[in-house]
Amino acid sequence: MSDSKKFTTEELDKIKKLRDDNARLIQDMGQVEIEFLVLNNRIDLLSETKEKLTGDFKSLQQQEKDLVKELNEKYGTGTVDIASGEFIPANWLFG
């Protein structure tokens, strides 16, 4: 007939455990890969947001420079008291 032999229960249990452990490991590796994808997407979004905010910051800096230049041409060098809206000329500060 057949020369086949049966594994012992202990041997079958070892084979099943290895198969189950392998399947669990593959599943865990897949989960980690998905988490990396999500994290990389988040990093990309943060990078885009950072670039936009950096551009906005540079634009505000330029607006500030332009306003200072405009006000210096109109009033001269000095400071402003935001609370009162009063301009204090620089020569008054040191005079």
Per-residue pLDDT tens digits for 53-90: 999 999 999 999 999 999 999 988 888 889 998 988 88
- pLDDT for res 15: 98
How far apart are the C-alpha atoms of 19 and 13, rounded to whole Å?
Answer: 10
Residue for token pair 């885009």: 48
DSSP string computed for the chain: -----PPPHHHHHHHHHHHHHHHHHHHHHHHHHHHHHHHHHHHHHHHHHHHHHHHHHHHHHHHHHHHHHHHHHHH-SEEEETTTTEEEEHHHHH-
Residue 95 banded pLDDT, cuts 50, 70, 90? low
**What pTM was estimated for this model as a whole?**
0.62
Per-residue pLDDT tens digits for 13-22: 999 999 999 9
How far apart are the C-alpha atoms of 87 and 67, rounded to whole Å?
Answer: 14
Per-residue pLDDT tens digits for 23-57: 999 999 999 999 999 999 999 999 999 999 999 99
Q: Which amino acid is at 69?
A: K
- pLDDT for res 66: 97
